[in-house]
Amino acid sequence: MNPYLPVLIVLVFAIIFGCIMSGLSHFIGPRKRTLSPVKDEPYECGVPMVGERDKMSVKFYLTAILFILFDIETIFLYLWATTFRELGWFGIVEVTIFLVILVAGYVYVVKRGALEWD
């Protein structure tokens, strides 16, 4: 059996389960059509809503960008780790060079203050 066939089965089942669970209240729960204008208002502790969801800190974008860089690096390290025994010392030297370049980038990022949250 193809080892990825169970992935497909579980995926299909998970989607069905999610849809059923998500829609359960829609069919079982009460549906009252109240005319109150505040009923479906976004939650704001009971007072009129202040502000909108518009601005977000640029730091979140920066974190996302840095994440992509370092996560890809982690994946590369996985490739090396799987073939670690076959590559031997050659692989270690290669990875050392790779890590040195990466750490240089990391030091730059830290020095520029990209990881500061104030």
Partner 1 sequence: MGLDLQQIQAFLDNEFAVQLIATAIKFAVVFAICIQVPPIMIWVERRAPALMQRRKGPNRVGFFKLRLWGLLQSAADAVKLILKEEIVPRGANKIFFQIAPIFGVIPALLIACAIPYGNDFQLFGYNIPLSIVNVDVGFLFILAVSSLGIYGITIAGWASNNKYSLLGSLRASAQMISYEIPLGMSLIPIVLIYGTLDLNQIVIGQSNLWNWGIITSPISFMIFFVCMFAETNRAPFDLAESEAELVAGFHTEYGSAKFALIFLTEYVVMFILSCLASTVFFGGWQIPFVPHDTLMQLIGGLHIPVLPYLLDLVGWGAPFLSLSLQEMGVHSLIASLIGVAVLFIKAGFFMWMYVWVRWTLPRFRYDQLMSLGWKFMLPVGLANIFVTAIIVAILNFK
In the numeric block, which tokens belong to residue 40? 């479906």
User: What is the contact surface with partner 1 in residues (CB under 8 A)?
Assistant: 1, 3-7, 9-11, 13-15, 17-19, 21-26, 28-32, 39-43, 45, 51-53, 56-57, 59-60, 63-64, 66-67, 70-71, 74-75, 77-78, 81-82, 84-85, 88-89, 92, 95-96, 99, 102-103, 106, 110, 115-118
CB 35, min distance to partner 1, A: 14
Minimum CB distance to partner 1 smaller for 63 or for 108: 63
Rounded CA-CA distance 30/24 in Å is 11
Backbone angles phi, psi at 53, to 5 degrees: -90, 95
Structure tokens at 7: 């992935």
Give the C-alpha separation, 75 to 55, whole Å: 33
CB of 25 to partner 1, least distance (A): 3
Question: Considering the complex, what minimum distance in angstroms separates the CB of residue 60 from partner 1?
Answer: 5
Instruction: Give the H/E segment covering residue 85.
Output: helix 84-87
| Shortest reach from residue 32's CB to partner 1, in Å | 7
